Amino acid sequence: MTVDKLVLCLSVPDGIHEWLEAFHRMAPGLDVRPWPARPDEGGRFYVAAWNPPDGFFSRLGRPRAVFVLGAGIDRFLKRGDLPPADVPLVRLLDAGMARQMADYALAGVLRFQRNLDLYEEQQRQGLWRPQPARSADGLRVTVLGLGRIGSVVASTLAGLGYQVSGWNRGGALIPGVSCRSGMEALDALLAETDVLINVLPSTPATRGLLDRRRLSLLAPGAGLVNCGRGDQMDLDALVSLLDAGHLRGALLDVFPTEPLAADNPWWRHPKLRITPHVAAVTLPEPAARQVADGIACFEAGGTAAGTVDRGRGY
Ligand code: GLV
- 73 touches ligand 1 (CB under 6 Å): no
Comparing CA positions, the residue from 175, 197, 204 lying closest to residue 252 is 197
The reply to whether ligand 1 has any atom less than 6 angstroms from the CB of 71 is yes
Q: Which tens digits make up the pLDDT trace of 264-290?
A: 999 999 999 999 999 999 999 999 999
Asked if residue 145 has its Cβ within 6 Å of ligand 1, the reply is: no
220 CA → ligand 1 middle, Å: 30
Q: Which long-range contacts (CB under 8 A, 24 or more apart) does 203-206 make?
A: 203/74, 203/312, 203/313, 203/314, 204/313, 205/169, 205/313, 206/232, 206/313
Residues in Cβ contact with 255 at an 8 Å cutoff, skipping those fewer than 6 apart: 230, 235, 266, 277
* pLDDT digit string, tens, across residues 144-193: 999 999 999 999 999 999 999 999 988 999 999 999 999 999 999 999 99
CATH of region 97-274, choose from 3.30.70.1020, 3.40.50.720, 3.30.300.30, 3.40.640.10: 3.40.50.720
Looking at residue 279, what DSSP letter applies?
Answer: S
Task: Tell me, in angstroms, the distance from the centre of ligand 1 to residue 70's CA.
Answer: 5
Q: Are 297 and 281 in contact (CB under 8 A)?
A: no
Rounded to two decimals, the pTM is 0.95
Cis, peptide link before residue 63, omega less than 30° from 0: no
What are the pLDDT digits (tens) for 92-130?
Answer: 999 999 999 999 999 999 999 999 999 999 999 999 999
Atom of ligand 1 nearest to the CA of 97: 5
Query: Which atom in ligand 1 lies closest to the alpha carbon of residue 282?
Result: 5
Instruction: Establish whether residue 249 lines the binding site of ligand 1, counting it when its CB lies within 6 angstroms of any ligand atom.
Output: no
**Residue-range domain boundaries for the chain:** 7-95+282-299, 97-274
Q: Give me ligand 1 centre to Cα 38, in Å.
A: 26
Q: Which residues are known catalytic residues? A: 229, 277
Provide the pLDDT for residue 258.
97
State which fold the 7-95+282-299 domain adopts. Answer: Rossmann fold (3.40.50)
